[in-house]
Amino acid sequence: MKTAHDFIKALTEYDARDGADQSFDDASLRAAKYATGSLAESLGKPRTPSPDADWAELRKDQAFFTTEVTSIDVPVDLAPPTPSIVHVRVAYRRILTSKSAEPRHSSFEVSLRLNLTDAGWRVAGLRTR
């Protein structure tokens, strides 16, 4: 499902290189356009008053994260889909690339609730596993 794919990439890809993202909030703001309801509101509000120490370290190292979505499925252990709601499980791999180290890979899995809105499918809920 394209919305789930695009949401995860928007939410999890950061770029601390010169001229790119200014903080972790930039990814949240990008992801908000794929969300709806309270999730969209939450993602659309900056949480970091200024770049924090973690972001400063990424900036110093000119680091960036890329995300590779490895699978999206409708698992049988979650609520069955309806015409307006579907639950999906998304597996993805993040790659941290920096000037000072070899790329590092981490794997994650999340469950998303997608609602059909007037604007199309949007993410209404997120649960990490």
Q: For position 27, which CATH number holds? A: 3.10.450.230
SS3 (DSSP) at 65: strand
For 3-60, the pLDDT digits (tens) are: 999 999 999 999 999 999 999 999 999 999 999 999 999 999 877 666 688 889 999 9
Report, in this order, helix, strand and coil percent for the chain, each rounded to 5: 25, 35, 35
pTM of the model: 0.92
Number of CB atoms found within 10 A of residue 80's CB: 9
Tokens of 72: 């999206």
For 95-113, the pLDDT digits (tens) are: 999 999 999 999 999 999 9
| Segments forming the whole domain that contains residue 104 | 2-128
**CA–CA separation, 69 and 83 (whole Å):** 24
Report yes or no: 16 and 26 within 8 Å, Cβ to Cβ: no
Instruction: Count how many domains the chain has.
Output: 1
**CA–CA separation, 59 and 1 (whole Å):** 33
Q: Residue 20 has what DSSP assignment?
A: S
Number of CB atoms found within 10 A of residue 33's CB: 14
